Structure 1
């Protein structure tokens, strides 16, 4: 039976100004950070559809019925505004479905949902992720800050398994350090599976008939440094998370 997951986000464009005395010029570079997560899930038998942020802005499914084509939906480093402000709504005032509501309804009917941390997920840098108070916070097993929720840990911080759970059942040995995460508060009924310091890293829960997961650090650099993405436990971890969220 085919397992199908949609990943939205994990892309960015950097526009640089090079000033050399009197003269200057600009360069632009587009990058994606999905390759480690995508490879891990494909190795676990998942068919992965990936929408970088600029594609998701227009093409992310409109309705819960559209999302039902997927066993699981993952948002990673993509702000709420990208899904709320479809280009046709922002530039032409066209009335379209609220896609955060659509994700909520999809999960309530049995879909799986995973939010991965980053500078534009949960609340993120300068609170620009803007998921606090939305339908996404309703379905997550955690409560979000209303402020910048980043915890930068350049010295490294070691995840610790706190609860035996299917999401980490195939992950063996010590975890490599991570370099930061989004600080959240577990909801009543949420299961804190892995911690970083005094804060949760991996929390699982349910909403309606569906399952949801908050993974508060990144799936790739910079918060997930090379030793983490190259770790033998990386693929079993993500396979376990998405399999559990999808009820597989």
Structure 2
């Protein structure tokens, strides 16, 4: 399994009276997710957002050799489509999102996880709606800011029968937000958060696709959700279903 995204740089300004100075740091998220899947026996690779340009395969065969399932979490479409060569020098480059689309259509699995830079994202900047991959997701992606902030928390509820959610709690620990989407006709909504789809799955060509519209780590994922004994089986089963190892 290949996790793409879940990384960021923070540049801070410290103002102390007349004087100010700046600090910078690099951070990665998703540690709980990676640990849970490795603990369930999966081989997991992580490609931070800033490494997409240099590390993402340039040919489809290399992508298929790298993973059976791709997880895209909190990284926007621009990071795949605007390499330095294309943006700065107008160089023709492989379409990385097109490669993921072809990967799924040929039998691979993809999971898009919610965040400020997936689906539509904050101010619509994630830009996934107008990509080829959006057409394979089991949900429709908006073209405007799709965040639903829920500071009081919402407890997800299982609403569909499926091997992914079998024997999990009917109600899950609270989440603090999600990306608002609509389930496509023919897809299966397995869990909701309030009135919004939270976990939706569907077929895509010869492959499978899933959408988990909240976070797999903070800030929308609360400590209680991350510590929940259903966290590992939930994402383990999602990945196994996407790879074809688990039936409906």
Q: Which category describes the TM-score, using the shorter chain as reference length?
A: over 0.9
Listed as ranges, the gaps of 5+ residues in structure 1 are: none
2:235 to 233, 238, 243: 238
Q: How many angstroms apart in 2 are the aligned matches of 1:28 and 1:177?
A: 32
Q: How does 1:119-198 map to 2 (within 5 A)?
A: 119-172=116-169, 174-198=171-195
Partner of 1:47: 43
Residue number among 18, 23, 28 corresponding to 1:22 in the alignment = 18
**Structure 1 CA distance for aligned equivalents of residues 195 and 3 of structure 2:** 29
Structure 1 stretches (4+) deviating beyond 4 angstroms?
A: none
Is residue 214–residue 221 contact of structure 2 (8 Å, CA) maintained in 1?
yes
Aligned length: 244
Indicate yes or no: 2:27 matched with 1:31.
yes
RMSD: 1.1
Asked if 1:106 is matched to 2:103, the reply is: yes
Distance 1:172 1:59 in 2: 38
Shift of 1:64: 2.8
TM-score with structure 1 setting the length:
0.96
Residue 91 of structure 1 corresponds to: 88
Query: Could you say what secondary structure the match of 2:234 adopts?
Result: helix
> Does residue 79 of the first structure (1) align with residue 72 of the second (2)?
no
1:197 is displaced (CA, Å) by 1.0
Q: Secondary structure at the match of 1:47?
A: coil
